[in-house]
Amino acid sequence: MIKHCFNCLFVFCLSLISACKYESQSSADYDETIASYFNDDQTVDCLKLSLLNLALAETGQLADKAFYYTQAGLDGLLLPWNYTAEAGEILSDIYWSMGHVAYAQRMAFEANMLDNRDFNPAMLKRLIETNLVFGAYPVAEKYIGILSENRAWKKVADSYKRFLFNDAAVESNPVLGPKKRCIPKLDFISIVRGVDEDLKDIIRTNPDYHNAIEYLGVIYLLDCEMDKFKMMLDEFYGTKALPELPKSFAEAACMLSEIHRGYWKSVGVSAEMYKKYINFKARLEKGLAPDKYKDTFWYYIMRINNQ
């Protein structure tokens, strides 16, 4: 009996720790993820890398600092969906960060279903959030009821009750509001056209939500899709969505100037940055190791080309 009580207490404490951790997921947690990331030039774990990139996105640094770390193509940004609860959970976080609410919801549902517990509290929380954002209040209410049955998560669950059937409360919330404004006015078939096309629709819908364009640009850069990247700059540079270029985008703009003469100037890249690019090229041409450029998109391209 004592053992049973102890076990129950242990499970409850674990759940409580998990609830507290998730409830207080903040920029400090993402900073810790970034600080504790071990960058290995040789072996890249796409799961860890996607979490790092997520942390960079959530702290507004993805397009500036993605190439500070050894990137591994798209799989390190958008973890491949391998039909496991773990991948589903991470993908839900990533799509949520992108502002792709429908797919964040889809992945949360898959992850929750694939979890062998009665439910996955973090994913149930995401289902509450996404349904609140979509205004699907009755099912959000159901999930709140289920989550609040878990004593450790009750406080978290109850904190969402004030949003039920209250669009204004959702819209004014600093987390839910921006996501709600990301929902495209015109429905489209998610992902089928490619995640980039979905992101463009999200950016057009909510140009103030910068995670979407940071993910979009980094997707193109990781995939070496320079033409599409240029089209993105042509459409969004100088607008609310992209008033100025983050570091990796500026580096890519320098490269685009090889084909489109003077392009770097047209998108506000500094002369200093362009000069750095010229120096990088010069070192390459001389056969010198450009190690001091390891944190650039140019180095990533060089590494990809050498593979």
Partner 1 sequence: MRKVAFFSIFILLTVSCVPKVDNPSPGATEAVIFPDYKEVTITENIAPLNFSFKDDKTRGVAVFENSGERLVLRSRKGEFHIPKSKWNNLKAAGPVIKVTLASYEGGKLMPHIPFSIFVSKESIDSFVAYRLIDPGYETWNKLGLYQRCLENFTETPFMTNEVTDRNCMNCHSFNNRDPGTMMFHMRAANGGTYVWKEGKIEKLNTKTSRTISALVYPYWHPSGKYISFSVNDIAQFFHSSNPNRIEVYDYKSDVVVYSIDNHQISSTPLLMDTARMETFPSFSPDGKTLYYCSSPQTEMPQGYRDVRYSICSIPFFPETFSFGDKVDTIYNAAKTGLDATFPRVSPDGRFLLFAETAYGCFSIWHKDSELRMIDLKNGRYLTLDKINGPDADSYHSWSSNSRWIIWASRRQDGLYSRLYISHVDENGQTSKPFLLPQRDLKHDRLLMKSYNVPEFISGPVTFNQDQMADVAKKEPGINVSF
Please give the residue ranges that form the binding site for partner 1 (CB under 8 A).
Answer: 83, 100-103, 106, 109-110, 112-116, 119, 134, 136, 138-139, 141-142, 145-146, 149, 183-192, 198, 201
Residues 6+ apart with CB under 8 A from 253: 233, 245, 263, 264, 267, 269
Nearer to partner 1, 190 or 266 (CB): 190
Alpha-carbon span 196 to 216, nearest angstrom: 6
Beta bridge pairs of residue 242: 237
Residues 6+ apart with CB under 8 A from 298: 251, 254, 255, 277, 280, 290
Q: Are 98 and 199 in contact (CB under 8 A)?
A: yes
Q: How far is the CB of 19 from partner 1 (least distance, A)?
A: 19
Burial 39-53 (b: 16+ CB within 10 A, else e): eeeeebebeebbbbb
The one-character DSSP state at 164 is: T
- At position 140, the amino acid (one-letter code) is A
Q: How far is the CB of 110 from partner 1 (least distance, A)?
A: 5
Beta bridge pairs of residue 237: 242
Q: Are 242 and 231 in contact (CB under 8 A)?
A: no
Nearer to partner 1, 185 or 261 (CB): 185
Which is nearest to 108 in space by CA: 126, 82, 128, 133?
126
Burial 238-256 (b: 16+ CB within 10 A, else e): eeebbeebbbbbbbbbbbb
Q: How far is the CB of 116 from partner 1 (least distance, A)?
A: 8
Nearer to partner 1, 187 or 272 (CB): 187
Nearer to partner 1, 95 or 277 (CB): 95
Q: How far is the CB of 200 from partner 1 (least distance, A)?
A: 12
Nearer to partner 1, 61 or 131 (CB): 131
Tell me how far the alpha carbon of residue 283 is from its chain's centroid.
34
Nearer to partner 1, 117 or 261 (CB): 117
Alpha-carbon span 284 to 148, nearest angstrom: 60
Q: How far is the CB of 297 from partner 1 (least distance, A)?
A: 29
Nearer to partner 1, 129 or 251 (CB): 129
Nearer to partner 1, 37 or 134 (CB): 134
